[in-house]
């Protein structure tokens, strides 16, 4: 049991450390709301503040309750991740990695929300006038981690179905 927690924490640190470092670099080197083209017409580095959730959901200045709400959601998500890890009968590599990446991303964004009152986003992809909402390394960890968790449960279901056939 302890071993699966160690593996998951290591995966979490793999996202958390670069997330915190890149956010500090962005805050200290890019002016707020600035845009710096890296691949013109496709990718910019920018410096934005997101008080909302993924993809800017509830990112508005007219409401004050979104930061406490998302702090609570982050804490609940972290608890749920630890519960899933503890209650899983067989924690596969996909599951440990996926939960770790989600955990690292959740902690990274939680740190921003608690210390700053917003999340620092800086990766800006766009094409033909369509922009994907800005995001950060924590968001990458959460997205990739969610995919791996889904894959882990899918593979487990397939294995269970073949065992009963």
Which of 121, 124, 157, 163 is flagged as catalytic? 121
Neighbours of 110 (CB within 10 A): 19
121 labelled catalytic: yes
Which of 19, 112, 124, 139 is flagged as catalytic? 139
Distance linking the first and last C-alpha atoms of the chain: 30
* CA proximity to 136, closest of 36, 10, 20: 20
Q: Describe the strand order of the beta sheet including 43-50 as a list of residue ranges.
A: 35-39, 43-50, 119-127, 130-131
Catalytic positions are 121, 139
């Amino acid at each position: 049991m302890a071993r699966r927690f160690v593996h998951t924490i290591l995966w979490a640190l793999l996202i958390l450390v670069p997330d915190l470092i890149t956010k500090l670099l962005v805050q200290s080197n890019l002016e707020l709301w600035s845009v710096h083209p890296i691949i013109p017409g496709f990718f910019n580095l920018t410096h934005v503040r997101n008080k909302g959730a993924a993809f800017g959901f509830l990112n508005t200045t007219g409401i004050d309750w979104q930061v406490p709400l998302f702090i609570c959601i982050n804490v609940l998500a972290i608890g749920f991740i630890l519960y899933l890890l503890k209650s899983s009968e067989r924690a596969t590599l996909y599951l440990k990695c996926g939960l770790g990446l989600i955990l690292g991303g959740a902690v990274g964004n939680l740190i921003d929300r608690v210390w700053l009152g917003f999340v620092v986003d800086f990766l800006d992809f766009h094409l033909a006038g369509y922009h994907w909402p800005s995001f950060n390394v924590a968001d990458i960890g959460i997205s990739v981690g969610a995919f791996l968790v889904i894959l882990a449960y899918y593979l487990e279901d397939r294995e269970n179905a073949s065992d009963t056939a």
